[in-house]
Structure 1
Amino acid sequence: MAVAAAACLALLPAAQATSTPQPEPEVYSVPDTDSRSRTEINRTGALVLSVDEAGVATVEATPEQAEKLRAAGLKPRQQETVAAALARINAGPDAGVRDFPPQDQGFHNFDEMKAELDKAVADHGGIAAKSSVGKSFEGREIPLLKISDNVAQDEDEPEVLFNCNQHAREHLTTEMCLRIVNRFTDGYANDPAIKEIVDSREIWVVPVTNPDGSIYDVQSGQYRGWRKNRQNTGTDTNRNWDYKWGCCGGSSGNPSAETYRGTAPFSAPEAGALARWVDSRVVGGRQQIRAHIDWHTYSELVLWPFGYTYDGATTGMTQQEYDRFVRVGREMAQTNGYTPQQSSDLYITDGSTTDWMWGKHKIFSFTFEMFPSSGGIDGFYPDDEVIGRETTRNDAAVDILLREAGV
């Protein structure tokens, strides 16, 4: 049924580019989906939030988009409005804090994140240095931390990049990047395994790739469910990269859509800044960054390129290269219990960070979707009590990628 529904959805008119506000979105469950029908769900302007083992997708959609799904033979079942979901998540005492809600103060806001980076540099100045990849739409610096044994030097060592919080409401990922920072700085003096990695690699960490959106999502003291950057109606920075931008129905041209790809490749300053910085790591004609993880929430997945096509070995990806992605992706997933798969097995995306990293620079690039494994809007806002458990859960996978950077 899912494939037939996908074929029907493909015949529906594409959403027209408009800045007219959409009706209030709601959360729906859609049974019997596969990667192709989920791709077509997204093409209506809706957004697949998660998928369970039975193929039931949780979808954020307007009533109009839900009607398109019904017309195509799918069976969306309304669960609650996004507003009601946020009200439920935000329920609790208002302590007057204009930050994360009082019950989730364990998360680091943007200023607290910067303070953590400053502390790492102050405590471990011989191996940690802070800089910036560039500025956001609202003019904020996007912090970058380098970790290496001779941190002030540009050594001829494999480099690895970790970036987090590209989608504003995915705050657990910032904690993941801070875990990487603190683990490889605090552990350097006493953990021989960590010392060996730091002495043989240059590690780069961007804890908040979308500072404006991340700040906006929590600055009222309650969660807003915001995903995009803060440029006009917002651009999905993970659909704004110039490799296969807008090629394949894996993003939207509608400015109101959650997967709006922007007016042009790198029209979102945040995506452009990070891309230019990665371009700058081409030294002597060779890209120094050898491996990369773009951290997201949620669904507990390890994803590899390409997202724009269902093909594995294809233009820009030999069978040997694809087999390596599968092998390492599965090895990492064995350590954290995530599901390993090609990005397009979830649904088609185009203009994505991971596709660009590999497609342009041959950087061994993965997307990790963190805890929880499924859910609705609440999946973006887990309790702060899970931070330690869910970030340390990825330690071994991080180590594997750092190892592979030297291959």
Structure 2
Amino acid sequence: MGTTRRMLAAAAALLLLAGAATPAGAQPPDRVLYEVRGTDSAQRDTIARSGADVLGVRDGTVTVVASPAQARELRAGGLPLSEIGDVDALLAERGAGKRTAGDFPAGDEGYHTYAELSEELSAAAREHPGITRLSSVGTSAQGRALHLLKISDNAGTDEAEPEVLFTCNQHAREHLTTEMCLHIVQRFTEGYGSDPAVTNFVDTREILVIPSVNPDGAEYDIAGGEYRGWRKNRQGAGTDLNRNWDYRWGCCGGSSGNPASDTYRGPSPFSAPETRAVAGFVDSRVVDGTQQITAHIDFHTYSELVLWPFGYTHDDTAEGMTAEEAQRFAEVGRKMAASNGYTPQQSSDLYVTDGTVNDWMWGKHKILSFTFEMYPRGAGGLDGFYPPDEQIAPQTARNDEAVDILLAEAGA
């Protein structure tokens, strides 16, 4: 099934790359996929400031989705955009003949819908009652529970142990990240008592997992039986959740004020119920003046990167980040990247972003917070968000050692 899927995707890409013209009288596409080669960080900042949707970056090559107006603006600024094709046509070809309404396209059944994810979490809680506690941090814009699973040797008790938070699926189309959080759940429940490393961490840490911060967007992305390439939540025109956090929100050209943009930051910080709920939970973990959560990873796709704060400035140090703190981020980030083969760098080395979860986690709470951009490596176009389900197992297990490194650092 994976081979057939890749052949269809390749055929669609070749047809579009061949330059099929828009038929006379037809509406030009609203979203077009482009590639920009040989960019530096300043040029990537320019792309991000335009409100275009940066999909992936590798060795200076950027794949980006832009509206006609955004493309004109970028070209006027001297950026050489090479057109790949109409996003909606690419996505339609990507799911051609594989529709399963309300589910992942046929051939991708290994991914979990929201209902399937909910059942998996409930099953983990039923089967491992002594070390799990299932709850939620709140609800999404459309009323879905934002599940939280706590894993610890005395999960029903708030012990004086370092807490480590894993969040996934802030961006709707990044379904592999939900599988990453689910893999963490399965590993630390099923391996307890038999795997010495797992058992030690469960006995000495409180592991907190939110597998889908954006369940509404994730469900919308697959609702028609084919992928939509949807990024934002489903509140109004949608908000980019990872530009909606209340730290340097909208400060530095790293998000858009246009509701039509894929990087729309929302009308105000924490205007999205999802970010507000997760932040409220993190705030609640301040006990007797001390934040109990000491480390955090937010999983994204794609480009195979380990990123750390700050995203809003290119400076290595800034208000709230000393040279010693920046050095620790770099040391831990490089150690994790050495374990999984990702590239380690400060977030802004990719391009400037503002209102992000990592900046907020560190800027407000001094939580050692990282973003992992998962498989695939490089500028993979739209297909990079929808890897074959055969990749779920190897790409999630690939991060086991990195997760363990962070759990160990949480107690340092």
Map 1:280-319 → 2, pairs under 5 A? 280-319=284-323
Aligned pairs (5 A) from 1:231-242 = 231-242=235-246
- For this pair of structures, how many residues does the alignment match? 384
Which residue of structure 1 lines up, in the alignment, with residue 96 of structure 2?
91
Report the AA paired with residue 48 of structure 1: V
- Secondary structure of 1:102's match? coil
Separation in 2, partners of 1:306, 1:97: 40
d(CA) in 2 for partners of 1:80, 1:302: 29
Equivalent of 2:348 in 341, 344, 347: 344
Question: 1:253: which partner in 2?
Answer: 257
Who is 1:14 aligned against? none
CA deviations over 1:275-296 (Å, ceiling 9, x no partner): 0000000001000000000000
Counterpart check, 1:41 vs 2:47: yes
TM score, norm. by length of structure 1: 0.93
Q: 2:402 aligns with which of 389, 397, 406?
A: 397
- 1:184-211 deviation per Cα after TM superposition (whole angstroms, max 9, x unaligned): 0000021111111100000000000011
2:15 maps to none
Hey, what does 1:15 align to over in structure 2? none
User: Could you say which residue in structure 1 is the equivalent of 2:233?
Assistant: 229
Pairwise CA distance, 1:98: 2.4
Deviation per CA, 1:126-179, whole angstroms, max 9, x where unpaired? 001100000111111100000000010000000000000010000000000000
Q: Is the 8 A contact 1:92 1:103 kept in 2?
A: no
Which residue in the other structure is 2:22 paired with? none
CA–CA distance in structure 2, aligned partners of residues 177 and 57 of structure 1:
27
Gaps of 5+ in 2: 1-27
Distance in 1, matches of 2:58 and 2:269, equals: 33
Measure, in 1, the Cα distance between the counterparts of 2:184 and 2:249.
30
1:108 pairs with 2:107: no
Give how far 1:63 is off. 2.1
- State the alpha-carbon separation in 2 of the partners of residues 44 and 239 from structure 1: 14
1:198-242 alpha-carbon deviations (Å, 9 max, x no partner): 000000000000111111111221111110000110000100011
Structure 2 residue 47 is the aligned partner of structure 1 residue 30 = no
Structure 2 distance, partners of 1:197, 1:335, is 18
Q: Distance in 2 between the 1:240 and 1:75 partners?
A: 30
Computed over aligned residues only, the root mean square deviation of the Cα atoms, in angstroms, reads 1.0
Report how far residue 52 of structure 1 moved.
2.1
The counterpart of 2:382, out of the listed 364, 369, 377, is 377
* Deviation, structure 1 residue 67: 1.6
**Contact 2:174 2:301 (8 Å CA) reproduced:** yes
Identical columns (%): 63
Tell me how far apart the structure 2 counterparts of residues 138 and 293 of structure 1 sit (CA, whole Å): 25
How far residue 59 of structure 1 moved from its aligned partner, in angstroms, is: 1.0
Tell me, yes or no, if structure 1 residue 64 matches structure 2 residue 69: yes
Q: Which secondary structure does the structure 2 equivalent of 1:103 belong to?
A: coil
1:367 positional shift: 0.4
Aligned residue identity for 2:57: V
Q: Is the 8 A contact 2:102 2:219 kept in 1?
A: no
Report how far residue 23 of structure 1 moved: 5.8
Query: CA separation in 2, counterparts of 1:98 and 1:238?
Result: 25
Residues in 2 aligned to 1:90 and 1:402: alpha-carbon distance in whole angstroms: 39
Give the TM-score taking structure 2 as reference length: 0.92
Aligned to 1:7: none
Q: How does 1:6-25 map to 2 (within 5 A)?
A: 24-25=30-31
Residue type matched to 1:237 in 2?
L
Opposite residue 409 of structure 2, the aligned amino acid is E
Tell me the CA shift for residue 97 of structure 1: 4.2
Give the gaps of 5 or more residues in structure 1. Answer: 1-21
1:224-266 per-residue CA deviation (whole Å, 9 max, x = no partner) reads 1110000110000100011000000000000000000001000
**Which amino acid is 2:230 matched to?**
W
